[in-house]
């Protein structure tokens, strides 16, 4: 901690590209796998809210929406700290001496809102036992893969992605951090049959943000007046969030997240996959998707 600025001081040597390690057959970054027993034993509280996503589904977007809904649409209150401090990322373990999301969560007073990228079968059991509310956001596989590829390029703590073709291969077989996208979206979809889970889609949020924000408010039992709803919509547009230092991760050092390589708030659209996928790659993903999501009732849109 820098005494003058009160800022955490990081050393570039702490950051290195992670290896992938399997936990119960799911590939996770090594920091999460090494701390598995602590994470599994995490003590959820009944009034905890958990935001779950496969990486790049719009996690930060729904986090900012939830924070605004919880704080009456007051942007000042949502500017109290960077996102990772407002809503700890429980499965993120950065090398010591940096604090982990788990420790931040443990030290946080209730009511807490936290974030995870864990698949449903790896969620610490106390979240089920305490009947915690969960908001899940899913994004179509093609845009998720593209966004995840660029995120691997810029996040110096993620495994090396290789080139696009190599990364997509790894994504399709689920050998990337957080495992298979297909298993993730399906696992959480099944879990909502027996647990209070609000399951949202990125594409729906783009189509009609006000409608989806209302679903969040209703799920949380909060009433929004028309002007508050309007303010939340405006505050959480891609353009607003791109310029918001408390939401765009610009407070993290560039030797960790190199936003010169690719910004965290990159494009924020549906359909950017068309710039990256060949026709053959797109058809292959469609085939796997049809097979993996068969008879689940889960349907994704890939067009704006």
Ligand X SMILES: Nc1ncnc2c1ncn2[C@@H]1O[C@H](COP(=O)(O)O)[C@@H](OP(=O)(O)O)[C@H]1O
| Contacted by 70, from ligand 4NS, ligand X, none: CB < 5 to 8 Å by type | none
Cβ closest to ligand 4NS, residue 151 vs residue 188:
151
Using CB under 6 A, which residues numbered 230 to 259 contact ligand 4NS? 249, 252
| Contacted by 198, from ligand X, ligand 4NS, none: CB < 5 to 8 Å by type | none
In sequence order, what E strands does 55-150 have? 113-116, 133-138
Nearest CA to 143 among 240, 248, 37, 285? 285
Cβ closest to ligand 4NS, residue 127 vs residue 249:
249
Bridge partners of 21, per DSSP, are: 28
Nearest CA to 158 among 264, 58, 274, 7? 264
Cβ closest to ligand 4NS, residue 7 vs residue 225:
7
- Contact with ligand 4NS (CB under 6 A): which of 27, 32, 84, 140? 84
When asked if residue 144 is in the footprint of ligand 4NS (CB under 6 A), the reply is no
- Contact with ligand 4NS (CB under 6 A): which of 27, 44, 55, 186? 55
Catalytic option among 117, 150, 235, 276:
117
| Contacted by 89, from ligand 4NS, ligand X, none: CB < 5 to 8 Å by type | ligand 4NS
CA distances from residue 28 to 96, 150, 156, 258, 302 in whole angstroms, order as listed: 18, 18, 16, 22, 27
| Contacted by 100, from ligand 4NS, ligand X, none: CB < 5 to 8 Å by type | none
Nearest CA to 177 among 293, 22, 57? 22
Cβ-based burial of 164 (10 A; exposed 0-12, middle 13-18, buried ≥19) = middle
Cβ closest to ligand X, residue 58 vs residue 174:
58
Residue/partner pairs of 227-233 with CB below 8 Å, 24 or more apart: 227/73, 228/72, 228/73, 229/73, 231/68, 231/73, 231/75, 232/65, 232/68, 232/69, 232/73, 233/209
- Sign for the CA dihedral angle at 202, 204, 205, 206 comes to positive
117 is catalytic: yes
We find the least distance from the C-beta atom of residue 276 to ligand X, in angstroms, to be 11
1, 8 contact by CB (below 8 A): yes
Give the H/E segment covering residue 21.
strand 20-23
Nearest CA to 238 among 199, 205, 271, 214? 205
State how far the Cα of 115 lies from the Cα of 51, in Å rounded to an integer.
Answer: 5
Binding mask 175-214 for ligand 4NS (x = CB under 6 A): ----------------------------------------
Binding mask 151-170 for ligand 4NS (x = CB under 6 A): x-------------------
Can you give the binding site for ligand X, defined by CB under 6 A?
53, 55-61, 143, 147, 150, 236-238, 241, 265-268, 272
Report the residue count for the chain. Answer: 304
**The one segment of 10-18, 84-92, 124-132, 231-239 that binds ligand 4NS by CB under 6 A:** 84-92
Q: Which residue's CB atom is positioned nearest to ligand 4NS? A: 84
Binding site for ligand 4NS (CB under 6 A): 55, 59, 84, 89, 92, 151, 249, 252
What amino acid positions are annotated as catalytic residues?
117
């Amino acid at each position: 901690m820098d005494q003058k600025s009160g800022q955490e001081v990081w050393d570039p040597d702490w950051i290195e590209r992670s290896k992938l390690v399997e936990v119960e057959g799911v590939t996770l970054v090594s920091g999460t796998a090494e701390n598995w027993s602590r994470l599994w034993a995490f003590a959820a509280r009944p009034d905890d809210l958990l935001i779950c996503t496969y990486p790049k589904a719009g996690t930060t977007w729904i986090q900012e929406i939830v924070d605004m809904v919880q704080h009456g649409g007051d942007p000042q209150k949502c500017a109290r700290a960077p996102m990772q401090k407002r809503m700890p990322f429980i499965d993120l373990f950065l090398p010591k001496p940096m604090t982990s999301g788990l420790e931040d969560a443990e030290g946080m007073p209730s009511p807490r809102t936290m974030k995870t990228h864990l698949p449903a079968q790896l969620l610490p059991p106390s979240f089920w036992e305490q009947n915690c509310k969960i908001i899940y956001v899913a994004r179509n596989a093609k845009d998720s893969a593209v966004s995840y590829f660029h995120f691997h390029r810029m996040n110096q703590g993620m495994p090396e992605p290789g080139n696009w073709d190599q990364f997509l291969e790894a994504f399709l077989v689920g050998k990337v951090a957080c495992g298979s996208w297909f298993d993730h979206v399906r696992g959480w979809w099944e879990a909502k049959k027996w647990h209070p889970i609000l399951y949202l889609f990125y594409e729906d949020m783009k189509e009609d943000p006000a409608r989806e924000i209302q679903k969040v408010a209703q799920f949380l039992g909060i009433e929004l007046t028309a002007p508050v709803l309007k303010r939340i919509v405006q505050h959480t547009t891609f353009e607003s969030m791109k310029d918001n230092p408390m939401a765009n991760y610009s407070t993290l050092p560039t030797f960790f997240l190199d936003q010169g390589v690719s910004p965290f708030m990159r494009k924020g659209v549906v359909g950017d996959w068309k710039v990256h996928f060949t026709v053959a790659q797109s058809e292959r993903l469609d085939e796997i998707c049809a097979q993996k999501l068969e008879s689940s009732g889960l349907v994704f849109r890939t067009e704006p």
